[in-house]
């Protein structure tokens, strides 16, 4: 059976789930042999933006998104090897928000790995997050793949330490999307030095998967869909044969190939952002090979939100977007062309036109 058939089987299951509610997902892996120990799957939930109101009150709509993703990830069949949370658990970095998120995520019956988002960080510079979840950057190995988790949302020390009268004000400034007072994200020198050391002990044939919050390339500076030292990070990854970067933050289906590196974004459980190239204020670098999301209704609260699962076979990833209130998508690495391909919408005649922005 060909890989495309497997994907259809998977999508069929996912579609049934979206409609019926409680039918487990089917994730059928036949492409490289079901028993091939190199194949594995992991789930990815991101950008829940849980928002504390007062006391025990939270914005219920965002709570609902995370709860739904947790329930669906728990129904994955076969069970994923682990689950990643891609950052922005909180909206304003509050202890209450992080606690609330971790309480909900504690229902996941899997090993978890966490990535730091700017909404988790800029109130106390990641201190509470770190006290609950451990280091802000680290690496681990799984079935022959080397995973690296980075904190990509740091910025210039002057902006972080000197510019704002209070921690709360700093957090509010970084929480805005189109804020001219913001500051570009970066991985920073210390972490790049650590990354270089970490990768020095990894063979060049080992597949590398980097998990970051912001994209490790430059899409649109005005919205901070951007990592200032992206090229320097990419240079450290350049010697490896199979490199994938998975990121949150952009709240949309987005993928790209730069040199040897494949990039995939995951969706938010809270709200979708439009594509930066639908606005004309500044140059946007939305990759040419990205097929825009067929977002039918920008004002539908759940359109183009959801969660994501990844199959890792032969060291490259297939990305399954489980979109709520929209058609599921699969973006898979095409071995022949050497880049990610949207297997559902790539052919022109199969595309549903994206919305026209207001
Ligand atoms: Fe976010
Ligand atoms: Fe973010």
Note the pLDDT tens digit of each residue in 67-126.
999 999 999 988 999 999 999 999 999 999 999 999 999 999 999 999 999 999 999 999
- Helix or strand (DSSP H, E) at 41: strand 40-45
Look at 37 and 38; give whichever has higher pLDDT.
Answer: 38
186 assigned to some structural domain: yes
Cα of 301 vs centre of ligand 2, distance in Å, is: 18
Residue 264: CATH number of its domain: 3.60.21.10
353 assigned to some structural domain: no
Cα of 188 vs centre of ligand 1, distance in Å, is: 20
Q: Is the dihedral of CA 207, 208, 209, 214 positive or negative?
A: negative
Distance of CA 289 to the CA centre of its chain: 18
* HSE value, Cβ hemisphere, 13 Å, CA-based, for 207: 16
- pLDDT the model gives residue 293: 76
357 assigned to some structural domain: no
| pLDDT digit string, tens, across residues 166-213 | 999 999 999 998 899 999 999 999 999 999 999 999 999 999 999 999
- Separation between Cα atoms, residue 157 and residue 255, nearest integer Å: 30
Cα of 51 vs centre of ligand 2, distance in Å, is: 14
229 assigned to some structural domain: yes
Is the pLDDT confidence value at 23 over 80?
no
Q: How confident is the model at residue 24 (pLDDT cuts 50, 70, 90)?
A: very low
Other Cβ atoms less than 10 A from the Cβ of 122: the count is: 25
Give the domain range for residue 58: 40-344
| pLDDT digit string, tens, across residues 231-248 | 999 999 999 999 999 999
Cα of 313 vs centre of ligand 1, distance in Å, is: 28
33 assigned to some structural domain: no
| pLDDT digit string, tens, across residues 247-277 | 999 999 999 999 999 999 999 999 988 888 7
Cα of 182 vs centre of ligand 2, distance in Å, is: 13
5 assigned to some structural domain: no
Number of domains in the chain: 1
18 assigned to some structural domain: no
312 assigned to some structural domain: yes
């Amino acid at each position: 059976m060909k890989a495309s058939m497997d994907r259809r089987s998977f999508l069929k299951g996912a579609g049934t789930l979206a409609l019926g509610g409680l039918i487990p997902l089917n994730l059928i892996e036949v492409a490289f042999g079901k028993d091939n120990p190199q194949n594995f799957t992991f789930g990815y939930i991101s950008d829940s933006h849980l928002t504390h109101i007062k006391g025990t009150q939270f914005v219920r709509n965002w709570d609902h998104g995370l709860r739904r993703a947790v329930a669906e990830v728990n129904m994955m069949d076969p069970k994923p090897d682990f689950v990643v949370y891609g950052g922005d658990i909180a909206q304003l970095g509050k202890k209450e928000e992080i606690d609330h998120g971790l309480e909900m995520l504690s229902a996941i019956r899997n090993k978890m790995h966490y990535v730091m988002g700017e909404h988790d960080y800029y109130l106390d510079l990641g201190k509470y997050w770190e006290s609950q979840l451990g280091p802000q950057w680290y690496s681990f190995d799984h079935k022959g793949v080397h995973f690296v988790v980075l904190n990509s949302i740091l910025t210039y020390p002057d902006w972080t330490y000197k510019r704002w009268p209070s921690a709360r004000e700093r957090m509010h400034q970084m929480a805005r999307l189109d804020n001219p007072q913001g500051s570009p994200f970066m991985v920073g020198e210390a972490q790049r030095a650590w990354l270089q050391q970490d990768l020095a002990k990894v063979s060049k044939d080992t597949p590398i998967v980097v998990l970051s919050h912001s994209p490790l390339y430059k899409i649109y500076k005005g919205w901070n869909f951007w990592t200032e030292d992206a090229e320097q990070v990419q240079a450290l990854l350049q010697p490896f044969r199979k490199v994938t970067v998975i990121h949150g933050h952009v709240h949309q289906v987005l993928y790209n190939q730069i040199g040897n590196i494949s990039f995939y974004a995951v969706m938010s459980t809270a709200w979708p952002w439009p594509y930066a190239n639908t606005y004309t204020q500044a140059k946007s670098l939305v990759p040419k090979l990205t097929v825009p999301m067929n977002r039918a209704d920008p004002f539908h609260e759940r359109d183009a939100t959801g969660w994501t699962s990844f199959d890792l076979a032969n060291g490259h990833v297939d990305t399954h977007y489980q979109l709520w209130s929209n058609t599921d998508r699969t973006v898979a690495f095409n071995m022949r062309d050497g880049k990610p391909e949207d297997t559902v919408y790539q052919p022109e005649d199969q595309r549903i036109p994206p919305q026209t922005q207001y």
